[in-house]
Amino acid sequence: MIQAFAFYLFAVLVIASGAFCILARNPVHSVLWLIVAFFNAAGLMVLVGAEFIAMLLVIVYVGAVAVLFLFVVMMLDIDFAELRAGFVRNFPLGIALALVLVSELVLGLGALKVGGLKLGASDGSAMTATGQSNIEAIGALLYSRYLFVFEASGMILLVAMIGAIVLTHRQRSDTRGQNISRQVARRPDEATRNERPEVGQGIQL
């Protein structure tokens, strides 16, 4: 009973916050609704027994990606009227994209119902790995059967990261950098000196 109640609660909240994410006029509100949606999706994953994925979803998407997203959206000065202007023009494109996504969803569910895929039980619950916790089951698969795919995706991400740094990094010669160790090593007698100037005379700095 509690499980059914929790499922309907999370499911309704995911759909509602997803809708609000699109409908909100303010982009910051959109991002916050998106975060609520992520959070409730994590709740759904806990319910189907995928607690590791649920935690990863919260850590990676809510904890890191959405924070950066919010950071950028907060700093952007967005003209809402201009943003709304293209709505009618882009409407057909949006509908087409939505149709593609819906048909993919229907195809996937159909394949699962027919039995072409062995992802889990057809009632939607995950396949239980006997005597193994989530983390062990995923780890055992990632580091044995899918080792090369896993390593390759890691390499791609590394290249992407280095690429982003190379693209945005610029050497500037006109700025003075901080040398922290020199600053920390500085002592009062190196930085100050005692002078006793004559009356009416200044000090040469």
What is the nearest approach in angstroms of another protein to the Cβ of residue 136?
Answer: 6
Shortest distance in whole angstroms from residue 134 CB to another protein: 7
Cβ-based burial of 51 (10 A; exposed 0-12, middle 13-18, buried ≥19): middle
Residue 180 in the binding site for another protein (CB under 8 A)? yes
Of residues 15-54, those binding another protein (CB under 8 A): 28-29, 32, 35, 46-49, 51-52
Examine residue 151 and tell whether it contacts another protein (CB under 8 A): no
Contact status: 165 vs another protein (CB under 8 A): no
Single out the residue of 9, 15, 22, 74 in contact with another protein (rule: CB under 8 A). 74
Interface with another protein: number of residues (CB under 8 A): 35
Smallest separation (angstroms) from another protein to the CB of 193: 24
Mask for 100-139, x = binds another protein (CB under 8 A) = -------------------------------xxxxxx---
Contacts of 31 (CB under 8 A, 6+ apart): 21, 66, 69, 70, 73
Residue 100 CB, nearest approach to another protein (Å): 32
Q: Which residues bind another protein (CB under 8 A)?
A: 1-3, 28-29, 32, 35, 46-49, 51-52, 55-56, 58-59, 62-64, 67-68, 70-71, 74-75, 131-136, 140, 178, 180
